[in-house]
Amino acid sequence: MKLQKLSLREIRMPLVTPFETSFGRVTNRRMLLVEAESDGVSGWGESVAGEGPFYAPETVETTWLILRDFIWPLLKDRHFNSAAEIWPAMETIRGHNMAKGAVESALWDAEAKQKGTPLWQLLGGVRQEIPCGVSIGIKESLEELVGTVERELAAGYQRIKIKIKPGLDLAPVESLRLRFPRIKLMVDANSAYRLEDWPHLKRLEAYYLMMIEQPLGWDDIFSHVELQRRLDTPICLDECIHTEEHARAAIDLGACRIINIKLGRVGGYTPARRIHDLCRSRQIPVWCGGMLESGIGRAHNIALSTLENFTLPGDVTASRRYWVEDVIDPEVVVTPQGTIRVPDGPGIGYRPRLDRIEAITARKEILA
């Protein structure tokens, strides 16, 4: 396969409800979609970078720049036997995983479409229905939080994750546990604590959490080793894991017992599968994280979640939780059992709605 044309589009969509984490609040999403044309077939990908460098160093602007000025010149018109060769071809570029992940995933979609195969099968996925949890942002009041959790449970979602930060941690977790004694419950701190806070985090153990996601520094694997020694609750790393080497260090040093894999954070399917395989060999379960994606990124998360070791419910949920109208057809829907049925059409299995995408495109650049 050859990459003959790469279209970059920035789309803008308001979230149905603003999403607040320990690092900020998002109301309007800006997302970079890439359309990669290979041998007459279009594959689609999404850069999951945020508007600002607050979750990870990349932003919409940096992914655009790296894709146009560095990735495109490296990949254009080169012959590849399969999409599995794309990631190694970008290895000379250090970091910028979200930019790499966008084009890499688009070419996997293109290859699957060329072969007339669902992407999840090309990747070696093993399940046709994936278990889903929800990620709930920081709310104004405990009543609002409890009401939101009630609705998500009624919709079928299998586990609840809430965002926490210092001062808004014990009370929300306690009210949820009192109201819902038996649900699968976890928290995500997005690096809001320091190792010295460990006695405070230890108090969360009274509420039987499935895991505590990324409590400490975004690039600080070592402090998580110290923290995990002091906690019985498993730590799950998100922000800290950008490469297979990070995953190996974190697991073998004892920094975590669970890993959240995000395609964009690790740079695409090739590194995601390697981390998945490494975790499987070390008996570390994984799950697929979310980045408030449009339907394109969402479809890729569904394909990734079909791999064998994605045994825990991920943050992959219905389109309508985020968007009044998504950019794919059909939209992503969740069953009353809190699962998503994996589509069996070729590629990502959801059709990009070009009319809708054009209508919300703020800028576009075609590289050919």
Active site members: 163, 262
Tell me whether residue 35 or residue 238 sits nearer to Mg ion (CB atom).
238
Q: 276, 309 in Cβ contact below 8 A?
A: yes
Q: Which of 290, 313, 343, 347 binds ligand OSB (CB under 6 A)?
A: 290
Q: 209, 185 in Cβ contact below 8 A?
A: yes
152 binds ligand OSB (CB under 6 A): no
Query: Shortest Cβ distance from residue 37 to ligand OSB (Å)?
Result: 28
Q: Which of 289, 314, 338, 352 binds ligand OSB (CB under 6 A)?
A: 289
Tell me whether residue 113 or residue 276 sits nearer to ligand OSB (CB atom).
276
Tell me whether residue 114 or residue 135 sits nearer to ligand OSB (CB atom).
135
Partner from Mg ion, ligand OSB, none contacting 169, C-beta within 5 to 8 A by type:
none
Number of helices (H), then strands (E), belonging to the chain: the values are 14, 15
Query: Shortest Cβ distance from residue 203 to Mg ion (Å)?
Result: 21
Q: Which stretch binds ligand OSB (CB under 6 A): 5-13, 84-92, 288-296, 340-348?
A: 288-296
Q: CB burial class (10 A; 0-12, 13-18, 19+) of residue 70?
A: middle
Tell me whether residue 284 or residue 318 sits nearer to ligand OSB (CB atom).
318
**How many CA atoms within 13 Å lie on the side-chain side of 31?**
31
Query: Shortest Cβ distance from residue 50 to ligand OSB (Å)?
Result: 7
Q: Which of 20, 35, 188, 326 binds Mg ion (CB under 5 A)?
A: 188
Site residues for ligand OSB, 6-65, by CB under 6 A, read 55
- If you ran DSSP here, which 8-state letter would residue 205 be given? G
Query: Shortest Cβ distance from residue 309 to ligand OSB (Å)?
Result: 19
Query: Shortest Cβ distance from residue 190 to ligand OSB (Å)?
Result: 5
Closest residue (Cβ) to ligand OSB?
290
Rounded to 10°, the helix 170-179/142-154 angle is 50
Number of residues lying near Mg ion (CB under 5 A): 3
Site string for ligand OSB, 181-220 (x = CB under 6 A): -------x-x------------------------------
Grouping H, G, I as helix, E, B as strand and the rest as coil, residue 214 is coil
Token look-up 């400490």 returns 216
Alpha-carbon distance of 128 to 305, in angstroms, equals 10
Q: Which stretch binds ligand OSB (CB under 6 A): 80-88, 108-116, 204-212, 284-292?
A: 284-292
For every residue of 13-72, DSSP letters joined together read EEEEEEEEETTEEEEEEEEEEEEEEETTEEEEEEE--BSSTTSSS-BHHHHHHHIIIIIH
238 binds Mg ion (CB under 5 A): yes
Alpha-carbon distance of 156 to 167, in angstroms, equals 30
Query: Bridge-partner residues for 118, per DSSP?
Result: 347
Number of residues lying near ligand OSB (CB under 6 A): 11
Alpha-carbon distance of 132 to 302, in angstroms, equals 10
Alpha-carbon distance of 72 to 106, in angstroms, equals 13
Token look-up 């600002």 returns 52
Q: Is the peptide bond before 234 cis (omega within 30 degrees of 0)?
A: no
Tell me whether residue 258 or residue 292 sits nearer to ligand OSB (CB atom).
292
Partner from ligand OSB, Mg ion, none contacting 67, C-beta within 5 to 8 A by type:
none
For the four alpha carbons of 175, 179, 182 and 185, in that order, the dihedral sign comes to: negative
Site string for ligand OSB, 114-143 (x = CB under 6 A): ---------------------x--------
- If you ran DSSP here, which 8-state letter would residue 110 be given? H
Alpha-carbon distance of 114 to 92, in angstroms, equals 28
Tell me whether residue 112 or residue 266 sits nearer to ligand OSB (CB atom).
266
Tell me whether residue 109 or residue 238 sits nearer to Mg ion (CB atom).
238
Residues that bind Mg ion (CB under 5 A): 188, 213, 238
Residues that bind ligand OSB (CB under 6 A): 55, 135, 188, 190, 238, 289-292, 315, 317
